[in-house]
Amino acid sequence: MRIGELARQTGVSERSLRYYEKQGLLAADRTLGGHRDYPQAAVDRVVLIQELFAAGLHSRKIAEILPCMRDSDGGPSELATPRLVSELTGERERIDRMISDLIRSRDVLDEVIETASGRARLTPVEEHRAL
């Protein structure tokens, strides 16, 4: 499939797809006319790349990880090394810390919303007394 079709199927810009190719994350054959020709499996690969970027990984780390993953289901392959597992465990811990931070922020916002909602229900006289 051509780059435009891959972009439509994945919702990723053509520019991003070219970047992925330049970074070694995605490969395409070339037609006689020089156009990129992607296999159908490229759709799964692009989705996986997007998921890894969303997890906060950078392109160098993704390039290192991709050969250790199967595109069809994202599962590990036998190419994963103990060092890579250790690095990915560190990335997972970083993501867990970010999730914890976000949950704390959400809890604070919930308290502010609850407090502000209670104040919004006060009459003008009650509000004046509260000040």
Runs of H (alpha helix) within 23-81: 41-54, 59-65
Q: Which residues contact 47 (CB under 8 A, 6 or more apart)?
A: 10
Structure confidence at residue 127 (pLDDT)? 62
Q: pTM score, two decimals? A: 0.66
For position 76, what pLDDT does the model report? 61
Class assignment of domain 1-79? mainly alpha
User: Which residues are CB-neighbours of 86 under 8 A, at least 6 positions away?
Assistant: none
**Consecutive sets of 10 residues in the chain, 131 residues long: mean pLDDT of each?**
96 96 92 92 92 90 82 61 83 91 95 82 64 65
- Give the model's pLDDT for residue 56: 86
